């Protein structure tokens, strides 16, 4: 199945950007995360990013760091996240599922073992925050045979040639374009040059692009989607569902 590609095509046919929603799985609890995913899908989320709690989430801001810490205190593991993904997949067969992790966790689990479990859980793509372009083939070699794709991260200072290389050889996925320098977290304003940056990336690759980091309001999402195919909200959702506990 091509759930991620279909999600972007469906959103485009409706004249909107695809909504990619991130949650730190296990915060405030596994059961409440599962309920939050059900809510997000009912509210129109096209793709869910399942954040695996990690002890040193260096790319994340205070909200997601705190959520990961709380999830780890409860003993939430990669296996727990994949078990939840399998339940979500059974309930939401058309929703795109991206496993969002740090590579060390996947590698330590054994790549073949991890890929088997991810395929069994219905994961569509994997995003490994700290895996460089030059080293990702090791992971892709176990994902591709199982029908799982990969989501590249594009930083604000990534050269355009590297952007194009990042998109090569991938399908049923999107480029995750980071909107701001620094860590995750809601921002009152997005960079003034973001629109031109998104336009340039969109013109350079065939994959859809989704912008994330800092987006927290409907107005910001709408502005981003004038120049991108989708938008990603993380910290604001982690805070919303955490506060609802």
3-state secondary structure (DSSP) of residue 161: helix
Measure the CA–CA gap between 140 and 138, rounded to whole angstroms: 6
158 has a pLDDT exceeding 70: yes
Q: What angle do CA 44, 47, 50 make, to 5 degrees?
A: 120
pLDDT digits (tens, 9 = 90+) for 17-34: 999 999 999 999 999 999
Q: Is the backbone peptide bond immediately before 28 cis, with ω within 30 degrees of 0?
A: yes
Marked catalytic residue, from 49, 80, 124, 229: 49
191 has a pLDDT exceeding 90: no
Domain count across the chain: 1
pLDDT digits (tens, 9 = 90+) for 90-114: 999 999 999 999 999 999 999 999 9
pLDDT at residue 38, as a whole number: 98
pLDDT at residue 186, as a whole number: 46
Marked catalytic residue, from 43, 56, 60, 134: 60
For the chain, give the percent of residues with pLDDT over 90.
82
pTM of the model: 0.94
CA within 13 Å, CB half, 53 = 26
Measure the CA–CA gap between 133 and 146, rounded to whole angstroms: 20
- Exposure string of 209-224, with b = 16+ CB inside 10 Å and e = fewer, is bbbbbbbbeeebbebb
Active site residue 9: no
Binned at pLDDT 50, 70 and 90, residue 39 comes out as very high
Mean of per-residue pLDDT scores for the chain:
93
Which CATH number covers residue 221? 3.20.20.70
Looking at per-residue pLDDT, the higher value among 217 and 40 belongs to 40
Give all strands (DSSP E) within 113-228, no chain letters: 125-128, 149-150, 153-154, 175-178, 209-212
Measure the CA–CA gap between 33 and 120, rounded to whole angstroms: 20
**DSSP conformational letter for 231:** E
| Structural domain containing residue 32 | 3-243
pLDDT at residue 245, as a whole number: 57
Active site residue 46: no
pLDDT at residue 145, as a whole number: 98
187 has a pLDDT exceeding 60: no
């Amino acid at each position: 199945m091509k759930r991620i590609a279909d999600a972007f095509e469906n959103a485009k046919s409706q004249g909107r950007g695809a909504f990619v929603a991130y949650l730190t799985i296990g915060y405030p609890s596994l059961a409440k995360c599962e309920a939050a995913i059900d809510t997000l899908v009912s509210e129109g989320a096209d793709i869910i990013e399942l954040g695996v709690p990690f002890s040193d989430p260096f790319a994340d801001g205070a909200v997601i760091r705190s959520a990961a810490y709380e999830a780890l205190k409860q003993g939430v593991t990669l296996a727990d996240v994949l078990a939840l993904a399998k339940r979500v997949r059974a309930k939401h067969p058309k929703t795109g599922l991206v496993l969002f992790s740090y590579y060390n966790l996947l590698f330590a689990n054994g790549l073949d073992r991890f890929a088997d479990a991810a395929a069994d859980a219905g994961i569509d793509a994997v995003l490994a925050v700290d895996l460089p372009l030059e080293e990702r083939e090791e992971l892709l070699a176990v994902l591709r045979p199982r029908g799982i794709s990969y989501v590249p991260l594009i930083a604000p200072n990534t050269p355009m040639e590297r952007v194009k290389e990042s998109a090569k050889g991938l399908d049923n996925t999107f480029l995750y374009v980071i909107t701001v320098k620094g860590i995750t977290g809601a921002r009152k304003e997005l960079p003034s040059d973001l629109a031109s940056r998104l336009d340039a990336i969109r013109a350079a690759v065939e994959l859809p692009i989704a912008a994330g980091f800092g987006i927290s309001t409907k107005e910001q999402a709408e502005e981003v989607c004038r120049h991108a195919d989708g938008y990603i909200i993380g910290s604001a959702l982690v805070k919303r569902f955490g506060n609802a506990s």
